[in-house]
Amino acid sequence: MRVVLATPLYAPDWEWGGVVTWAVQLFSALARRGHRVTVVTTRPGGDRLPEEELQGVRVIRVAGEILGKSGRIGSRGYEAACREHFARADIVHIAGVWQPTGNVATRVAREVKVPYGLSPHGALGAYAWTRNRLLKMGYYALREKGHLSHAAWIHATAPMEEEELKHLGWVKNVRVIPNPLDTDLWLQIPDEGHAWRSRLGLGETEFVLLSCGRLHHKKGLELLPEAISKVEGNWKWVVIGDDRDGVRSGLQARLRTLGLEERAVWLDAVPPLDVRAAYAGSDCLLMPSLHENFGNVAVEAAACGCRALVSDAVGAAPWLDEPGLPRKAGIWSREIRRLVQDGRDAEGLRLRRSERTRNLLGSDKVAELFEATMTQKLAGC
């Protein structure tokens, strides 16, 4: 099958978040399954770059530009690149909504009459509508609604996102396929966890709560100081991530008020291998997000053996040990107390959690599901 992915950004632009990780993991796995995969994308700044092959995927990059502070990507050369490569494709997949590149890609796919799928990646969920609502309503009516109506299928990363899409009226063509997991990176390595705890001065019996990822209001971390204030025993809260919106200073001030300042350890963002060590050395990830269409951090932690508590607004909850929790400090406090009282998980339990997660969400497994959906759509099913 000749597959073209149209996405605003691709590797090595990892700093742009989970969509880049999703694209690389999934479409590289499709290439391993024997498909001819081409990515049409941009690289902000500079001229058009030479095409290259990355992990079996042909990558076409045209010059792009970041439009203001919105994170939207524009590109004068994107339409020509889409026309050239869509004309030779059996099927196209388009990542993201609200993006000028997505608007161009969808229009070109319709003009050259190639079937396409579309991944909103949570950008049509309830939380997304809380920001720039009126502007988005107008753009949705003029652009995105038509793009969705002509899509051969709409990709939801979790049942939660499926329900959000159905609430907008998209019922028939939605397919749930979770985000793929890099099983070469996210696995249980106990020795890394022991070394990480040692570097931070954490005792082997100390229960380690972890929050990991960008510090942003969307992550809902302001709920946690009150929740952990009621937790007794030998525990520490480790927070990893660069500050966004002054979140760290707000959390630190609240912890001082509660007399918990010495219970917290603060680290800036670290490379993936150090994140893996943190997962291996921690006992429970805390993710009380206001909204995550999937929540890669939670499944990465589970793949490294770490338990994860997430809010009921995190799409990945069905693939974890614990159900999503309502965002109420009392409920979170009760669950964290229970885990701390039960003590650290045995290595055997951590290994079983790791194996289960990796078997469910490994990139090759997810690519098989994606391939099956594309094949069905090409067959007119």
Q: Which residue has the higher pLDDT, 253 or 18?
A: 253
Per residue in 352-376, pLDDT (tens digit) is 999 999 999 999 999 999 999 999 9
User: Contact 108/20 with Cβ under 8 angstroms?
Assistant: no
Per residue in 34-51, pLDDT (tens digit) is 999 999 999 887 666 778
User: Contact 237/206 with Cβ under 8 angstroms?
Assistant: no
The pairing of strands 57-67 and 52-54 is antiparallel
Q: How far apart are CA 36 and CA 31, in angstroms?
A: 6
| Mean pLDDT, residues 316-328 | 96
| Mean pLDDT, residues 315-343 | 97
What 3-state DSSP class applies to 289?
coil
Q: Which amino acid is at 350?
A: R
Per residue in 248-282, pLDDT (tens digit) is 999 999 999 999 999 999 999 999 999 999 999 99
The answer to whether residue 350 scores a pLDDT higher than 70 is yes
Which pLDDT band, with edges at 50, 70 and 90, does 222 fall under?
Answer: very high
> Which residue(s) pair with 58 in the sheet?
38, 53
Which pLDDT band, with edges at 50, 70 and 90, does 134 fall under?
Answer: confident
State whether the Cα torsion 115-120-125-131 is positive or negative: negative
